[in-house]
């Protein structure tokens, strides 16, 4: 088939590629690089200026416009584009309607995204959803989106960039991600083996000796393999990039039930029951047991993960989905 001309729309709040934290930005960058390697033309549009977005997109002809900032669905009526529009939401709780209207922040996901998205999909048959994980896909199907208008675009990682070698490990577990209530880092505070890395606006949390600051992407790729386990106990996630990065680095995982749902069961993944999230003694025991199991199996963990989630194969499937006729 002829090469595609693709526009990828970001949030406009972080650089692409990101210098450090920025899972969505990393994903957009990987898709752009992977699609270009296959001979397609890709433009990244990453700005907060909606007028610029509309004028830029209307100034040329695209085969595919892929929206990664789901609120931009509201710009679709202003576009001259007649081809496929893919919408990927990175909202972590698509599957949990009970938290859509967040009174603490004033953000109403249903009003801002879901209602206009479903309306636009009824008006324009070229709009499809690229769901990041099975639970997101199933949530959209439950909303009445036809099965032929949702495809799965699993989040991956770049195996060639992430070290996994036999250097001595540091005897520690890592909790890597933005420090926030949703990721529940405070449930891990006081467990001696766990160190925290990630953006943090909580000045009190920054004072903890276990908080180490932010990692650049290059630092993460080189040093993640020095840890032994990654711990993530979020209340909601879509498809966390950090899980694939940790597995590529040969780490075992200790996860909350919600985070673990997208991964196939394996002995190097331990799950903390939701009822036990506050039980630090149990979590510490799971971390220690996972360290003992995973460290001797680093290369096996990496090999299994690479077979499932390395970018080159995922991007080939992504392009195949883009090239499918709209009625498929």
Task: Determine, yes or no, domain membership for 286.
Answer: yes
Residue 322, pLDDT above cutoff 80? yes
Total structural domains in the chain? 2
Q: Is residue 276 part of a domain?
A: yes
CB 11 within 8 A of CB 46: yes
> Does 217 lie in the same domain as 133?
no
What pLDDT band is residue 327 in, cutting at 50, 70 and 90? Answer: very low
CATH number, domain with residue 258 = 3.40.50.2000
Tokens of 282: 């149990």
For residue 19, name the pLDDT band (cuts at 50, 70, 90).
Answer: confident
**pTM given for the model:** 0.82
How does residue 328 score in pLDDT terms, banded at 50, 70 and 90?
very low
Domain-embedded: residue 84: yes
Same domain, 20 and 34: yes
**Do 99 and 39 sit in the same domain of this protein?**
yes
Residue 181 and residue 118 in one domain: no
- On whether residue 27 sits in a domain, the answer given is yes
d(CA 158, CA 98): 34
- Same domain flag for 50 and 135: yes
- Quickly state the pLDDT bin for 7 (edges 50, 70, 90): very high
Q: How many CB atoms lie within 10 A of CB 221?
A: 19
Based on the fold, state whether residues 181 and 108 are members of the same structural domain.
no
Do 138 and 203 belong together in one domain? no
Residue 328 lies in a domain: no
The boundaries of the domain holding residue 192 are 159-308
235 and 278 together in one domain: yes
Where do runs of H (alpha helix) occur along the chain?
23-37, 50-58, 109, 115-123, 134-142, 203-206, 217-223, 241-248, 257-260, 280-294, 298-309, 311-322
Tokens of 118: 């479903």
pLDDT band at 154 (very low <50, low <70, confident <90, very high): confident
Are residues 301 and 163 part of one domain?
Answer: yes
Q: Is the pLDDT of residue 158 over 50?
A: yes
Within a domain: 197: yes
Q: Place 42 in a pLDDT band, splitting at 50, 70 and 90.
A: very high
pLDDT digits (tens, 9 = 90+) for 173-205: 999 999 999 999 999 999 999 999 999 989 999
Q: Is the peptide bond before 18 cis (omega within 30 degrees of 0)?
A: no
Average pLDDT along the chain? 94
Residue 151 and residue 228 in one domain? no
Residues 181 and 70 both lie in one domain: no
Q: 318 lies in a domain?
A: yes
Do 54 and 168 share a domain, yes or no?
Answer: no
In which band, very low, low, confident or very high, does the pLDDT at 318 lie, cut at 50, 70 and 90? very high
């Amino acid at each position: 088939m002829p090469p595609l001309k693709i526009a990828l729309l970001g949030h406009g709040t972080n650089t692409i590629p990101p210098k450090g934290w920025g899972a969505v930005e990393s994903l957009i960058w990987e898709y752009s690089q992977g699609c270009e390697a296959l001979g397609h033309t890709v433009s990244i549009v990453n700005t907060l200026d909606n007028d610029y977005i509309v004028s830029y997109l209307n100034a040329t002809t695209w085969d595919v416009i892929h929206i990664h900032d789901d609120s931009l669905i509201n710009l679709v009526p202003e576009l001259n584009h007649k081809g496929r529009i893919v919408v990927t939401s990175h909202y972590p709780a698509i599957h949990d309607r009970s938290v859509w209207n967040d009174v603490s922040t004033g953000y109403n996901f249903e009003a801002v995204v879901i209602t206009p998205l479903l309306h636009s999909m009824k008006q324009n048959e070229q709009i499809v959803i690229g769901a990041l994980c099975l639970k997101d896909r199933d949530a959209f199907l439950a909303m009445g989106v036809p099965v032929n208008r949702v495809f799965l675009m699993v989040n991956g990682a770049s195996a060639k960039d992430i070290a996994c070698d036999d250097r001595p490990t540091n005897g520690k577990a890592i909790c890597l991600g933005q420090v926030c209530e949703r990721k529940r880092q405070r449930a891990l505070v006081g467990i001696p083996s766990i160190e925290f890395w990630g953006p943090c606006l909580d000045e009190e949390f920054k004072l903890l000796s276990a908080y180490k600051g932010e990692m650049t992407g290059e630092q993460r790729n080189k040093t993640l393999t020095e840890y032994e386990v990654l711990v993530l106990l979020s209340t909601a996630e879509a498809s966390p990039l950090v899980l694939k990065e940790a597995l590529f680095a040969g780490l075992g995982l200790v996860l909350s039930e919600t985070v673990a749902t997208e991964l196939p069961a394996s002995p190097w993944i331990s799950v903390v029951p939701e009822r036990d999230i506050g039980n630090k003694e149990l979590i510490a025991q799971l971390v220690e047991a996972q360290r003992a199991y995973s460290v001797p199996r680093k290369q096996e963990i990496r090999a299994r993960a690479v077979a499932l989630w390395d970018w080159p194969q995922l991007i080939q499937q992504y392009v195949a989905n883009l090239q499918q006729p709209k009625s498929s």
